[in-house]
Structure 1
Amino acid sequence: MGLVLILAEKPSVSKNIADALKIKNRQDGYFEGNGYIVTWAFGHLLQLYDAKDYDDNMSTWKMENFPFIPPMFKYKVKSDPKNREKPDRGAGKQLKIIQSLMKRRDVDTIISACDYDREGQIIGDSIIYNLGTDKDVYRLLLNEWTPAEVMKGLENMKLNSELRPLQDAGVSRQWADWTIGINLTSVATLKYQKGKGKALNIGRVLLPTLKVIYDRDKEIENFVPENYFKLQATFKTKDEHEYEGTYVEGKEEKFKRKETLEAIQQALIDQSAIIHNKQVQKKKEYPPYLFNLSNLQGYITNKYKGWTSDKVLKVAQSLYEKKFITYPRTSSVALEESLVSKTAKVLETLTEDLPYKNEIKFVKSKRIFDNSKVESHSAIVPTYLKPKKLTIDEEQVYTAIKNRLIMQFMPVAEYEETRIETKMKNIDLKGLFVSKGKVQLVEGWKKVEKVQSKDTILPLVQINDHVDLIHHEMTSHVTKPPKQHTERTLLRVMETCGKNYDSNEESEETINAILSGFSIGTPATRAETIKKLKDVGYITAENKNLFCTQLGRKLVETFPIKDLFDLEFTGRLEKSLFDIEKRRFSKEEFLQVIFEFTAKSVQKIKNEQDITINEIVTQHKTNEVLGKCPVCGHAVIEGQKGFGCSNWKSGCKFVIWKSDKYLAAMKKKPTKTMVKSLLKNGVVTVKGLTSKKGNKFDANMRYEKNDDNEYYSWRMEFNK
């Protein structure tokens, strides 16, 4: 038997595999031992050619060169992020290492161990097949990187050729986004932008997401507030207990006409009432479902300040690579039925020292374990490995995932709901007064996150009891506009393509929409889309709320390819990709649709009127004067590396370096504000300096010329 070569998606994952196989020997770019070689990519090592790589004429954008659809798509070493013209040296080096390992005579089997999803499939396949091999290629399909799972996975591998549909879907997505992005971004920029600068970004997932925010902004702008009125009354029972009731006719408690309620108020003077009806119901409250990625992002961005969906994904990814949670890029809110005994063990490990341990009972429930609700990956749950040390960010995400699992096995929360109908005795009113009370009977799963339920307790009354009306008042209210989108609500729309996204609880319809692939983007890319919308300047965030910028609005209102803003259109494309994975649609048919759509769109833009959506005005940098130079009196301005005298050409040496070592030792960098204050007053109060022992302190600082040379040094003074 020859050696087995395993290719992982990232160095950290290859280390997990090497640990599971007990390989200690690390070489340059791989681990080797016990019959295995484990190497790694850094995500995508290859990328698609740029347009100019196919044809030199494409190196400058000209209208007549578009639409541009290459006869076949080719790959190259990914570009250096700092210089797009050059290949990334690290990626090039790692590809050479992988190639030499694949060619080794003693290697007879290759295993792709990249993430089990569309992207993971093409990361592995693009490397293995572009380098070329005639050796057997297998696929390791895992949901977590714990040693037990790695060993189990190696016993249950599939031939990589069986995953051809997943590869087809991945490639179709990649080629489609390249075709639409390259063509429409170029043509839109040439047509609608004046001045040099960033291109006008056009993307298949970007634009419908922008439109969702635009539509909500418009709804809020066009909202016309309406007044409505309510009538509240206070009643007293015979044993002196008071309770409130709201006047209701049919099901309506909000009245548009003030006069309706004023007439009723007149009739209420000196009247008494009777208990017309009383209902007491026990109700159950189930815990929210397990997390999929969108729900986790929604939960964390809503609960904690300063989080974005993109950050939640990064932190979850790091917990996954550290083996503490299962695969995060999932759209499922249930677990596969095969995970029953494993989940029982995980639950036992996680709840060993909880004060309410005796209330936790493991059950095999359809709400938690249901194959029909799992699409390729189960919901996100912790693994059996308990983390010893986590960063604050990791702690917040891990705790949310852990608590969500524990909640499923706590008692169902129960409350009692009371509804009392109070009817006026001697006057004939269309409606009556309704009072609602709620008392929590069983706290159950709410204990896990200390969810507080408010009790509203009503007095004990029976039907036909007489009560006194002791007070009534009419209150006026104004209808409220819809709320701005937040990342949480936006993710919800993207996940379900706008179908039924108001409910907090996952409804069957929502789950089916997700399972049938009808969504915008995938769990893995949605956060990236929201981040990109901010980066390209189409939307902006204030606190948790998202708004369209002026540029974003202009684009929605002017860009003529309306299909690209349509949730249904993008949903259908996403559904086609999902159907390719399921062998219900072919890659060739899908790409044909994309190529035709692109060509027609380019033509349409060319024929449109010339309008400017974005004008880039190049601004010349103005150097703000921070103060007078203490040596020669010229202006002190900010440079790239420091704050210095503008008279430096004539030899003035005054400068405060941004990398000043004295300040750096106390974990501080000089700022503009600091320099201004120093130049004006000769002294500056610097807050939050860190001592050698790690304690924080404040001090007054002076910056004075040394006696023995022409340089300056800091001197510290403490307040007496």
Structure 2
Amino acid sequence: MLKMPKYLILAEKPSAAKNFAKALGGSAGHFADFDYRIMNLRGHLMTFREPEEMVPETLAKKYKSWKLADMPWQLNDLNWQRTYIRTRTKGTTNKQLLDQIKAELKQGYDGIIIATDTDPSGEGDLLAFEAIDAMKWQGAVLRANFMDETPQSIQQAMRQLVPIADKWQYGPYLKGESRSRWDFASMQLTRIATTLVKGAGYAVVAREGRLKSVIIWKIYEQWQKINAYVPVPYYEVKFKDPAGHVFARKVDPKAEQIAWRHAQRSEGEADVATYHESAVANEKHTTKRQAPPKLIDLAGLAALLAPQGLSAKQVLSTYQKLYEAQYVSYPRTEDRNVTPEQFNELLPAVDQIADLVQVDRQLLSHRQPRKTHVKPQGSHGANRPGTKVPVSLDQLEKYGPGARQIYTTLAKNYLAMLAEDYVYDHVTADLLDYPDFKTAFNVPIALNYKAIFNVETDDTESQSATLGPTAQPELAEGKNPKPQTPTTKWIMAFLEKNNVGTGATRVSTLSDMSQGTKGMLNESRGKLTPTQTGNISAIMVENTWIASPKITKRLFEMMDEVEQFKMPMAQLLDSVTQVIAHDMPQMEANVANLTQRLGPPPKKRKVKAKPKAEQVTGIFKGQEVHFAKTWGNHTFTETEIADLLAGKTITFETTTKQKKPFTAKGQLGKRTFRGNEYTGFKLLKA
């Protein structure tokens, strides 16, 4: 009888391990043609050592330095060794967790199945191999590629395991590792910027990075435009018919001056007087159709929900929990379409989803795949509802802030694809006596998908198709447009237009930039405002490559090329040195602008030195010792001091920090503070 292979399935986190156990029939057992045991990581357990720990001892001082003269680094000096990430939570440390998995492997396994997220950035493969390398596993490694954590997807992945003979010949790992090394090496930019701004008197850590620098500079630049904005009114002639339709001349957006726009009202009024009422002419009606919008990604979802008060961090966190509960699809996808298989899989649930989010089922009459939304190419598929449908929206609220809004928005966006096209009457006309004055507007005929999901306002939409019969001249006042306020939606649209990052990385980066007292951005109902730290970081990256969308886009492309074996990792990493060589002198020039733009740095507040406690000197256990004469708010009496030096236990009445009275009982003994040993009063346990 043939012996069944036995594999250890390595899930990314505890919640994923539970979903795998549910799909396979338990945390250990038999599936397909192998025996298995499921264990889990907790995301990344390993991180790169400090730079000075990854180079020969003779170079350690240079790589620990924040001096500009010691950069850029020679990346060939680094051995890229990792160490355990220190955990702040109580319980098993990362080393202990890996030791447990390693001990289990010694029970006799034929291989490890990587069952971490199939991530487009290679992150899931990277964190798995970090753990595998730390455990010094030399056996077989296989990859389970799953689209989501539904039982069907997990089972299919376990039947189609991909062997990985060599991680250095495995594209997703190469991409994840190269991105990780690039980001680590780019810490030099933070050191350079921070060294310069602190030298200028600003006590700030200026965090600079691939996506952070692009975002903070664009937002800062936009606020500069807003602050510099001066409204300049103008006056021009327009015509209006009885239904309110406006006839105007076409404006060339590239034109510096427009002859028929007047700076003074009096000039405009004089111009109006030269026109008379005119009949409407050349009226045309064309029936047009508009297909449903693209499926949204995580960035689009965050942008839509920001005005409702949901931060990027909340969207990211709540969506992840909804995914783990299998109510929504995989979050970190790059897809904006679904495959035919994914479309057909969700089709039986659409009526139930429609009822849940209060969409009329009769609108869902286009249940055939649209070529614009359903394509054979794809991986996880676009963000969408899961095949598991909640009984009620209230059921979702336990998964975090905005769970109801996230699910409803995602569902309506997907259901819109199953509705018919928006149909409208496109109306155009001009004026008989003044043919340069034209009008164009749309009159809805059938809303169809727009009755389900319509987030874009249409300024050309009108409820009346009746034109004329004549139009009257009038004086219209306008002004130069004010630059748009930076919002989550605005920055996400900019990043998407320039193809910088993925939907998920844009959201996670924006979330990180908006966190904590040292955050770079304030986010309020979608409005983004730089903090003082953000302003400093932005000024420091003006005209740098790290803040260039084109450079950042190219870096993402290069990482894809590493994954596809079109570029060696060393060539990608060499680009870090090129960026630093270009940006360091630019940052040295930029630092001179800080005071001019932000004002002088705040003066350091002098902190009064705490008076040193009076010391007692005496002989304790045959040795001369020194200890504080006070403990808390109690000063030892001469009798108590004598008893303490004699090794006796003393008792006295005092209060806690919260001013609550208690009886202190203790004796003299050895104590440690920040690694230093000293003699002092030790409170005995009751």
**Normalising by the residue count of structure 1, what TM-score does the alignment of the two structures yield?**
0.72
RMSD over aligned Cα atoms? 3.7
Q: How does 1:5-84 map to 2 (within 5 A)?
A: 5-23=8-26, 31-34=27-30, 35-54=35-54, 55=57, 57=61, 61=65, 63=67, 66-68=71-73, 69=75, 70-81=77-88
Match of 1:578 in 2: 560
Give the structure 2 partner of residue 405 of structure 1.
Answer: 414
1:185 to 177, 187, 190: 190
Pairing 1:215-614 to 2, within 5 Å after superposition: 215-235=221-241, 242-249=242-249, 255-257=260-262, 261-268=268-275, 273-302=278-307, 304-305=308-309, 307-351=310-354, 356-361=360-365, 362-371=367-376, 374=378, 376-388=379-391, 389-391=395-397, 393-424=402-433, 429=434, 431-432=436-437, 434-436=438-440, 438-449=442-453, 456-458=462-464, 460=466, 467=469, 472-497=473-498, 518-519=499-500, 521-535=501-515, 536-558=518-540, 562-595=544-577, 597-598=579-580
- In the other structure, the counterpart of 2:163 is 159
Contact 1:349 1:384 in 2 (8 A): no
Which letter does structure 2 place at the counterpart of 1:80?
T
Q: Please state how far the C-alpha of 1:323 moved relative to its aligned partner.
A: 1.2
Which AA in structure 1 matches 2:510? I
Instruction: Give the direction of change, closer, same or farther, for the CA distance of 1:577–1:223 in structure 2 (3 Å limit).
Output: same
Correspondence for 2:616: none
Cα 1:53–1:80, aligned 2, differ >3 Å: closer, same or farther?
farther
Please tell me whether the aligned partners of residues 227 and 256 of structure 1 are also in contact (alpha carbons under 8 angstroms): no
The CA distance in 1 between the partners of 2:563 and 2:95, in whole Å, is 31
Name the CA shift for 1:616/1:320 in 2 (closer, same or farther; >3 Å): farther
* Kept in 1: contact 2:117–2:146 (CA 8 A): yes
Matched, 1:97 2:106: no
Paired AA for residue 421 in structure 1: D
Query: What secondary structure does 1:565 align onto?
Result: coil
Q: SS at the partner of 1:154?
A: helix
Kindly state the Cα deviation for residue 227 of structure 1 after the two structures are TM-superposed.
Answer: 1.9
The one-character-per-residue Cα deviations of 1:47-66 (angstroms, maximum 9, x if unpaired) are: 11112433564796452654
Are 1:110 and 2:90 an aligned pair? no
By how many angstroms is 1:166 displaced?
1.1
Q: Kindly indicate whether the alpha-carbon contact (under 8 Å) linking 1:416 and 1:439 is maintained by their aligned counterparts in 2.
A: yes
**Quick one: which amino acid aligns to residue 32 of structure 1?**
A
**Cα distance change of structure 1 residues 532 and 475 upon mapping to structure 2, 3 Å threshold:** same
- What is the total number of aligned residue pairs between the two structures? 578
Q: Between the two proteins, what is the percent identity of the paired residues? A: 19
Distance in 1 between residues matched to 2:543 and 2:446, nearest whole Å: 55
Q: Does the CA-based 8 Å contact 1:51-1:58 persist in structure 2?
A: no
Give the Å deviation of 1:363: 0.6
| Contact in 1 for aligned 2:311/2:523 (Cα 8 Å) | no
Shift of 1:337: 3.4
Q: 1:549 to 1:340 in 2, by over 3 A?
A: closer
State how far apart, in whole Å, the 2-side matches of 1:10 and 1:657 are.
Answer: 44
The aligned amino acid for 2:487 is T
Structure 1 residues 228 and 589, CA, compared in 2 at 3 Å: closer, same or farther?
A: same
Shift in alpha-carbon separation, 1:189–1:170, aligned structure 2, 3 A: same
Residue 620 (structure 2) aligns with: none
**CA displacement at 1:233 relative to structure 2:** 4.3
Q: 1:245 to 1:134 in 2, by over 3 A?
A: closer
Residue 717 of structure 1 corresponds to which residue in structure 2? none
Post-superposition shift, 1:13? Answer: 0.5
For the Cα contact (< 8 Å) 1:298–1:488, is it kept in 2?
A: yes
Query: In the aligned structure 2, how far is the partner of 1:539 from the partner of 1:102?
Result: 46
Asked if the contact 1:417/1:437 (under 8 Å) is kept, the reply is yes
CA deviation after TM superposition for structure 1 residue 10, in Å: 0.8
Indicate yes or no: 2:12 matched with 1:3: no
Post-superposition CA distance 1:276-332 (Å, at most 9, x none): 221112122322211222212222224x12x22232122111111111122111222
Q: Distance in 2 between matches of 1:563 and 1:234?
A: 50
Partner amino acid, structure 1, of 2:503: P
Instruction: State the 1:127 CA deviation.
Output: 0.8
Q: Where does residue 686 of structure 1 map in the other structure?
A: none
Q: 1:542 and 1:151, CA in 2 relative to 1: closer, same or farther beyond 3 A?
A: closer
Closer/same/farther in 2, CA of residues 604 and 359 from structure 1, 3 Å limit: closer
Aligned-residue offset at 1:610: 8.6
Instruction: Give, in whole Å, the separation in 2 of the partners of 1:309 and 1:571.
Output: 22
Determine the C-alpha separation between the residues in 1 that align with 2:222 and 2:78: 41
Hey, what's the Cα distance between the residues in 2 that align with 1:265 and 1:196?
Answer: 57
Cα 1:657–1:447 change in 2 (3 A) is farther
Is the 2:326–2:386 contact (alpha carbons within 8 Å) kept by the matching residues of 1?
A: yes
| Deviation of 1:251 (Å) | 5.6
Q: What's the CA shift for 1:92?
A: 1.7
Distance 1:616 1:78, change over 3 A: farther
AA aligned opposite 1:112: I
Tell me what 2:679 maps to.
Answer: none
User: How far apart, in 1, do the equivalents of 2:634 and 2:283 lie?
Assistant: 90
> Structure 1 residues 468, 573: CA separation in 2 closer, same or farther (over 3 Å shift)?
closer
SS at the partner of 1:485?
A: coil
What TM-score do you get using the length of structure 2 for normalisation? 0.75
Distance, in Å, in 1 between the alignment partners of 2:426 and 2:412 is: 27
Q: CA deviation at 1:620?
A: 6.4
Cα distance in structure 2, aligned partners of 1:410 and 1:489: 28
CA shift at 1:379, angstroms?
0.6
**In 2 relative to 1, CA 259–453 (structure 1 residues): closer, same or farther, beyond 3 Å?**
closer
Structure 2 CA distance, aligned partners of 1:224 and 1:609? Answer: 28
Letter in 1 for 2:335: S
